Each structure stands twice: as C-alpha cells, then as structure tokens.
Structure 1
C-alpha cells in the first residue's frame, strides 16, 4: 500500500440545522485499496459517500476537507477521477436513452473524443462487466436489461473513464446472495482492471468480509473503529463493532436466539454530551455518559471508546 493517500478526508462535518449528520470524520484511502464503510442505517454512510464526490445537498452546512490527490474541488473530478456506483441502478439510468448512449455521454463529458470513439469505449466497458453481446445490448434501453445487468451497467458507467476512486453506495442492497457475490466480483474485477481504489459503503458486514482491506465503522456520524479488516472483524475493540458482529447469523442450533443490539441509534439532533453509543452499550460507565471519547490507537487500529484498551474481548458482552 502506498504511504501517500489517494483520497484524504479531514474533520468532515455535515449538518442540517441542529442535526449533526457527520461529526469530525477523518480517514484516508490509498491507491488500489478497498475501504469498507459500515454501520447501521442513519450512521451517515451515504452522506459521506456523496461528500466524497462533492454532492452534499446545498441545504447542508459543511466543514473540514475532502481532497483527491490534493484537489479540493471534487465536483470537477466527478466521473473522471472519482465515480459513483449508486444503490438503485434503475433510477440511475435514464429510461429514454439506450444504455450505450448513456455510457458514451459519460465518456464525452470528461474526454475530448469523437462520438465513434466514445461509443467504442462504452461497448468495451459493457463487455468488460460481462454484458453478453455488448455491441447489440448497448442499443437497448434500461427496461430491457435484467436487474443484474442494470447493476453491471452502472458499474460500467462508473469505471468507463478509468477513475482513481470508485465509491459504491450500498451496491448489493436487496440482492440475493448469489447476485450479491456476482456484483462484488464484478466490482473487484473492474477495480483491478482500471487500477482504482474502492470505497464500499454498506450496512452489511458480510459484504466487506473477504472484500475489504480496511474497515471504517461509523455510528451517529463518527468513526468508532478504523483499521485492517481482518483485525476489526475478528477482534473488535469498539463495543459497537462487537455488537454488530454478534448480530450476524452464526452457525449453531437453529433455535438459538440471534443476539441484537438493544435500542436504536440516536437522532442527529438529539445527541448528548457523552458517547452516542452509551445508552445502548452494556459496558458504559459514567465517563461514557459525560465525555465523548477521543480516538486512540489500540491493537493497530483507531478506536473511539473510553474502555477500548482495558477490555480484551468486548464481543462476549453481546453473546
């Protein structure tokens, strides 16, 4: 992994009035790596994905910085050096234009090439993601594609200009296991083909297991744990990460009750002075309720928890 980050996020803050949706988030993405961003719904993951592409709503108040190879104006880099694979492939594609025309338009929006060359690049991108008979299906409309083919088409659109970074926002939501693995495999192949880094945003820890190099776990707009995927997913040091992992289906008796995190995440406009996870955490002490934890390095990863260094196996608390 290159010591120089490709994408740098520092103290990112996004709020809507009193609602603090993202609170002081910092992380790096290095060339060629896969960073998984995980957490429950409402953690701020998709908003961070939009911020990486300069797509934060105008109604939001923002602070901090997001830089791609030092460039801060990411709107100018969108589609060329950084691209998005959206959650809903059908709504991301125009219903009134052939898929190939949409990819060709994406090419010509950032490259000075002829219509013929743009078309050739579009067909090649569709072929690369496994669209059968790509030259013919490039002339088809999105409604003529199956759901899996549409998902492949938006991956082709994101990678057609060979960006440095691909941001995939919940790309496998509502897919069955077989199709999920197909989409993840195509994402991995395209990342390797164009040499891009991948930011994989998901609520599903199983998606990042085996696919991510590092994992960023978010809760209530903050990072609670950030480090190598193998360590974070096998030996979590943040109680919230441990709770998420314990909530996954495990091998064992079918009648065994599935552990679940108690309570619900706090509303962004109702955050107290302490750790946002404290009301749900079985390990919380008085300090957790009065002071927000500062990230500290524990076992080779950053952990925002007052008790991270003193609890050897927080996972057992959620068994």
Structure 2
C-alpha cells in the first residue's frame, strides 16, 4: 500500500471525441484506503473519467491531463496489478467459453509467477471469500451457469484477487434489486478492506454514496460541480446541481408535497450553453451565470463550481418543487 497521503492524483483530465470535450478539466485525488464516489446523471462523464485511469477510454477518444499513481505517470504496468476494475456488466466481462475458475487463475498468472495448480487454488479461494457456495465445484462452471449476483461476486473476486491498491467500480449495482445491491456492496466493501485497497465508486445512487463513500465528486456536463467529504456535500450542498439530485430522492415519513424533479436534461457534449452548463436548469441562475462559467473554488471544506453557492436553502427541496394548486 502507498505510504504517501495521495495514492492517485488526477489533474486537468480532458477526454474528447473528434475535438469535442466530454470530460472538461476534472481534477481529484484518491487517498490510500478511502472510498471516493463519482456521481452524476447519465452523460456526466463519470464512467469516462474512471475508465481513463485504466487505459480503457473508448476508441476514438483523445485523453489529456496528468494521472499519477504514487507520483509516477507510468500507469501501464500498474493496470491489472495495482489498479483493477469491477465492471457494470459482469456477464460481458467474463468470457462465455471458459470456466470462471480458469479465468481467475489466468488473472493470477498474469501478475504472479506461480504454477497452474497454485493459480487454480488461489482462484477457488477467491471465489470462496466472496461467498460463492461450493467454490471448488463452481470454479469449473461457465458464467451462464451463475446467477446475476454470483457473476457480480465473481468479478469482484477477480478485481481483488491480486491485492490492488485501487479498485475502480463502474456502476457495480446497476439493474440489481435492493437486496442484491446491498449484498454486492457488502462483498465489495469486505474484499476492498481485506486487501487494503482504495475504491473509486462510479454510481448515480446517492443513497449508496451516503452509506459507503468517504468523499464524493459530483459531475455535471463533464466538469466538477462539487467535491468534498460525503457528510459535508450531501448534508449541506453548495452547488445547485447537487441540491437538485438530493431533492429528487424519495424522503422517509409522510409526503406532504410532490417529489421535486430536476427540470430539463443535461446538455450533450458540443452543445453546451454559454456560461454555466447547469444554468438552463437552475432556479438560481442569473445573467452572470448564463454568460460566464464559474471557476472551481474552495468553500466550507469542499470545492464547488457555482456563482451563488450561499443562496442554497437548508431545505434543498424548496429550490426545485413546483407550487401546487390550492
């Protein structure tokens, strides 16, 4: 594990397609053993950002900026060894023609010079650790013979098998029901802690962030909207976009008013409005917002990109709720 205060440093990350930027100058750090969540609506750039760390940006993408692991910009040798991925779609991540145990054993031998027998033993042990029943027998099965939850556990086993320093989990609970989601997150948390890894968690689920993340980076239109400790950002947001995401969450207790929703949709890359990209959807937007993009600045223990961060009420729902007829 890294001995420094910063495990991963990302500075001014920009990802473009045919000259159009989809990620626009994102910067953040990941500390040893911490959980940093990347949050935002579809198209915010969070998965692009995460996959750039693994050299897995889509074909045709141009990636610029600085990415350093333990201060080194050479990540080629670290990928698959010190940085690993838990993908969104476990089925497509596993080869359909090879037994699951063989695939895990191959991952072991890609990093460690061990015999096939030893690699196989490590693969079975990894499946057992993530709760696959009768792991020795299941290791001989193919992915289509696993349930969805078991496949997700298998890819978590593969991602943590070689004890990486950083695990990137790209929407690992998408399309899972609440019970299975909690099971997968529990397994991921247990395995991450067992190997001492940090976690970069890509998700759209703020409840997951609240329960599992130390810090949160809220992205909008390819840019940082807000970044800070989870309890600070979600407890008292200073970016209207963060406030809108929170306001849209179902609340416990009796419902006395209609659930607020964020109006409109995020702009597509290359179709950004002038000024702040969120201004067309923001109830606090002024002419200044619509003409000048806000700089990212430090405020109340977090970074925020907004011209009017002090105007957000404690009850974030009031920003976006509509007046109801009497």
Quickly name the TM-score band, shorter chain normalised.
over 0.9
Bigger drift between 257-266 and 305-314 goes to 305-314
Match of 1:123 in 2: 124
Q: CA deviation at 1:254?
A: 5.4
Residues 91-106 of structure 1: pairs in structure 2 closer than 5 A? 91-106=92-107
Match of 1:142 in 2: 143
1:317 aligns with 2:314: no
Contact 2:296 2:306 in 1 (8 A): yes
Give CA deviations for 1:149-183 in whole Å, capped at 9, x if unaligned: 00000000000000000000000001110000001
Match of 1:7 in 2: 8
Distance 1:2-1:224 versus aligned 2 partners, 3 A rule: farther
1:73 aligns with 2:74: yes
Contact 1:2 1:30 in 2 (8 A): no
Distance 1:314-1:306 versus aligned 2 partners, 3 A rule: farther
Q: CA deviation at 1:39?
A: 0.3
> What runs of 5+ residues in structure 1 fail to find an aligned partner?
none
1:31 aligns with 2:39: no
Match of 2:206 in 1: 205
Q: CA deviation at 1:21?
A: 0.6
Structure 2 CA distance for aligned equivalents of residues 227 and 13 of structure 1: 21
Q: CA deviation at 1:255?
A: 7.7
Contact 1:239 1:314 in 2 (8 A): no
Q: Counterpart of 2:212 in 1: which secondary structure?
A: coil
Structure 2 CA distance for aligned equivalents of residues 310 and 147 of structure 1: 45
Structure 1 CA distance for aligned equivalents of residues 138 and 74 of structure 2: 35
Q: Counterpart of 2:193 in 1: which secondary structure?
A: helix
Give CA deviations for 1:48-98 in whole Å, capped at 9, x if unaligned: 111011112341122111111123232321211000000000110011100
Q: CA deviation at 1:251?
A: 2.2
Q: Counterpart of 1:110 in 2: which secondary structure?
A: coil
Structure 1 CA distance for aligned equivalents of residues 16 and 143 of structure 2: 35
Bigger drift between 249-258 and 20-29 goes to 249-258
Structure 2 CA distance for aligned equivalents of residues 2 and 71 of structure 1: 14
Contact 2:52 2:63 in 1 (8 A): no
TM-score under structure 1 normalisation? 0.96
> What runs of 5+ residues in structure 2 fail to find an aligned partner?
322-326
Structure 2 CA distance for aligned equivalents of residues 256 and 307 of structure 1: 26
Structure 2 CA distance for aligned equivalents of residues 144 and 246 of structure 1: 41
Match of 2:164 in 1: 163
Structure 1 CA distance for aligned equivalents of residues 301 and 151 of structure 2: 40
Bigger drift between 105-114 and 183-192 goes to 105-114
Q: CA deviation at 1:118?
A: 0.9
Structure 2 CA distance for aligned equivalents of residues 8 and 287 of structure 1: 32
Q: Counterpart of 1:121 in 2: which secondary structure?
A: helix
Match of 2:181 in 1: 180
Structure 2 CA distance for aligned equivalents of residues 20 and 57 of structure 1: 13
Distance 1:314-1:251 versus aligned 2 partners, 3 A rule: closer
TM-score under structure 2 normalisation? 0.94
Q: Counterpart of 2:28 in 1: which secondary structure?
A: strand
Distance 1:238-1:262 versus aligned 2 partners, 3 A rule: same
Q: Counterpart of 1:37 in 2: which secondary structure?
A: strand
Aligned length: 319
